[in-house]
Amino acid sequence: MILSSIVKKNPYSQFYNSRVSKVRIQTIAIFLSILTSFILFCDHAIAQKNLNDIKYINHGLISSSKVYEITRNAQFIVFTIQNNTGRTINNIYPWIYKNYIDPDDGKEKYLLVNNVHRGGIRLAGIPHRPKARVDWRFALVRGNSPADPVAIDYLLMIHTKSIDYTNLEPPIIVVPK
């Protein structure tokens, strides 16, 4: 009883309590912001680590990954492509060959499986800026029926003239902090 009357009469106790609560709120806010940023950027860091582990084939102006993905119904093939130029890429018109062993003579052969006049589609939907890695999807138009021989590997070939650049560079959007 006496202690509670002393606390109520002390004018500095309210100031001290409000000061401590402000410090606690600020500490909790800082902790939550650090935790949130860790959670948000953890997946990005893991993805970047996995991208750095993949080997790339240097084609000069661009590099393509050795790892590719074929869609469920074998209509498309997806390659990760890195832009090595100083300009933004608008479209790419590659040659994609299917490497297989011919069952008749047992020799290794190549079959062109895409339409070279049809460009790819960026899966991320973002401009393919310099030094960026973007997934590109290309249509497979032949060599995919069940009667065709099984592919050993797919080969992506790109000529310097088969890369289409944007005429006007898109603006770089900077997110304010």
CA separation for the pair 95, 157 (Å, rounded): 5
* pTM, entire model: 0.64
Strand partners for 92: 163
pLDDT given at position 49: 46
Q: Which candidate, 63, 79, 40, places its Cα nearest to that of 132?
A: 63
pLDDT at residue 79 in the model = 93
- pLDDT of the chain, 177 residues: tens digit per residue: 455 554 555 555 555 566 667 777 778 778 777 766 666 555 444 444 455 556 888 888 999 998 999 888 888 999 999 999 989 999 999 999 999 988 889 899 999 999 989 999 999 878 899 999 999 999 998 877 766 778 888 999 998 899 999 888 877 777 777
Average pLDDT over the chain, rounded to whole? Answer: 79
Q: Which residues sit opposite 139 in a β-bridge?
A: 76
Q: Could you confirm whether domain 56-165 is CATH 2.60.40? A: yes
Predicted pLDDT at 96: 93
Predicted local confidence at residue 97, as pLDDT:
93
Q: What is the pLDDT of residue 103?
A: 85
